[in-house]
């Protein structure tokens, strides 16, 4: 039997007991009025929380499934993938594995993607550009407006945003953001169990999809849109998780999005202040994430740190990708509070003192 530990991880993240309990409602079928009302309620709340009027589609999947959907439905031949970390690289790989020509725009890990570099580098014949908003391998939050403006000043491709560790934790100002797809999942700043992915899509992307061949079935945006217009899923969803999503969105709206973003910023500032004194921060100053902090570990042995933290009832995340051995990560997203962050940092101080 596993022992409970409070998660300060990059995902899955800490889930409140009342949210888990929302999953215990009686089961319903997914082809009926009860389900239609449930999905309609979820979509309305997502639009309200994120202040978007785009189509909102939900898939029983991790977010990666809908990142692939963007490629399969939005690109016939050629795309560009911007990467300053492991998840930018993953989207490039998804393009290549689906037979697309991919222009790889590479930025050093730990550095932010800058608009002028993208504008000078981007090839004008690409049909779409992929951007990771919040690169969770490095802790960098990229300046989306600056990047998108640079792209639009040169050509007019579809723009796809990986908002997996940003949505509901960082204000993306989606209403004014000129993007065609925004992808995220339940197990990050939404603070739910994994199992659902969500995409906000533009009419321009849906129109493009109508001309793209071999879109597949499970992640075909047009098929999803056809069913979503009737508040129905294409295939059987995890209905218990849909209950929890609806419940959690109601909690989030009660907190208020402004307050939620401010809480995330306060948690991030507490972790960054601690890390700057204790060790060092990996991400470029001025572009550091408000949901994840990546810390250069120096001489700290992460496995020992993690083992001792677990004994105290806490868990953090190891490094990821090519910087796995030189960094570790602290997640400060979802429903965590500044007080809980302070408790973690106190425990980390105690462990580090004991290990040195």
Domain boundaries, the chain: 6-13+257-355, 17-253
Is the CATH number 3.40.640.10 carried by domain 17-253? yes
Please give the average per-residue pLDDT across 52-63, as a whole number: 98
Q: Quick count: other Cβ atoms within 10 Å of Cβ 355?
A: 12
Q: Please give the mean pLDDT across all residues of the chain.
A: 98
Closest CA to 345 of 271, 277, 283, 268: 271
Handedness of CA 48, 20, 341, 143 (dihedral sign): negative
For residue 186, pLDDT over 70 is answered with yes
Q: Quick count: other Cβ atoms within 10 Å of Cβ 307?
A: 11
Tens of pLDDT, residues 89-137? 999 999 999 999 999 999 999 999 999 999 999 999 999 999 999 999 9
Indicate the pLDDT class of residue 356, thresholds 50, 70 and 90. Answer: confident
Write down the pLDDT at residue 328. Answer: 99
Tens of pLDDT, residues 214-231? 999 999 999 999 999 999
Cα separation, 246 vs 295, whole angstroms: 34
Cα separation, 347 vs 351, whole angstroms: 6
DSSP string, 279-304: SEE-SPTT-B-SSEEEEE-TT--HHH
For residue 1, pLDDT over 60 is answered with no
What does the buried/exposed string (b/e) look like for 220-253 if buried means 16 or more CB atoms within 10 Å of the residue's CB?
bbebbbeebeebbbbeebbbbbbbbbbbbbeebe
Predicted TM-score (pTM) of this structure: 0.97
Handedness of CA 345, 248, 320, 144 (dihedral sign): negative
Residue showing tokens 């083992």: 307
Write down the pLDDT at residue 2. Answer: 66
For residue 342, pLDDT over 70 is answered with yes
Cα separation, 296 vs 328, whole angstroms: 7
Q: Which CATH architecture has domain 6-13+257-355?
A: Alpha-Beta Complex (3.90)
Indicate the pLDDT class of residue 3, thresholds 50, 70 and 90. Answer: confident
* Run of H or E including 181: strand 181-185
For residue 255, pLDDT over 90 is answered with yes
Query: In CATH terms, are 6-13+257-355 and 17-253 the same topology?
Result: no
């Amino acid at each position: 039997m596993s022992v409970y530990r409070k998660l300060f991880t990059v995902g899955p993240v800490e889930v409140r007991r009342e949210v888990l309990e929302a999953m215990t409602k009686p089961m319903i079928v997914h082809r009926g009025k009860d389900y239609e009302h449930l999905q309609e309620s979820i979509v309305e709340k997502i639009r309200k929380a994120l202040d978007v009027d785009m189509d909102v589609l939900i898939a029983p999947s991790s977010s990666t499934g809908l990142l692939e959907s963007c490629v399969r439905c939005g690109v016939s031949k050629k795309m560009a993938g911007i990467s300053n970390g492991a998840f930018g690289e993953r989207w490039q790989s998804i393009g290549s594995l689906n037979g697309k020509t991919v222009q790889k725009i590479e930025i050093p890990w730990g550095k932010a993607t800058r608009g002028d570099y993208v504008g000078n580098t981007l090839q004008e014949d690409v049909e779409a550009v992929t951007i990771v908003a919040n690169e969770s391998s490095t802790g960098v939050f990229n300046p989306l407006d600056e990047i998108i403006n640079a792209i639009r000043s040169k050509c007019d491709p579809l723009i796809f945003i990986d908002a997996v560790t940003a949505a509901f934790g960082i204000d993306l100002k989606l209403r004014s953001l000129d993007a065609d797809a925004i992808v995220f999942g339940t197990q990050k700043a939404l603070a739910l169990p994994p199992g659902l992915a969500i995409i906000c899509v533009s009419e321009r992307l849906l129109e493009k999809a109508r001309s793209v061949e071999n879109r597949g079935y499970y992640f075909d945006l047009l098929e999803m849109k056809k069913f979503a217009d009737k508040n129905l899923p294409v295939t059987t969803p995890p209905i218990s998780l849909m209950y929890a999503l609806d419940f959690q969105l109601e909690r989030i709206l009660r907190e208020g999005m402004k307050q939620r973003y401010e809480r995330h910023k306060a948690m991030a500032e507490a972790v960054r202040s601690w890390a700057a004194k204790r060790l060092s921060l990996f991400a470029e100053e001025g572009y550091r994430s408000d949901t994840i902090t990546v810390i250069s570990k120096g001489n700290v042995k992460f496995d020992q740190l993690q083992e001792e933290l677990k004994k105290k009832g806490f868990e953090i995340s190891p490094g990821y990708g090519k910087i796995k051995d030189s960094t570790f990560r602290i997640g400060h997203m979802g429903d965590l509070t500044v007080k809980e962050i302070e408790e973690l940092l106190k425990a980390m101080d105690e462990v580090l003192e004991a290990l040195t």
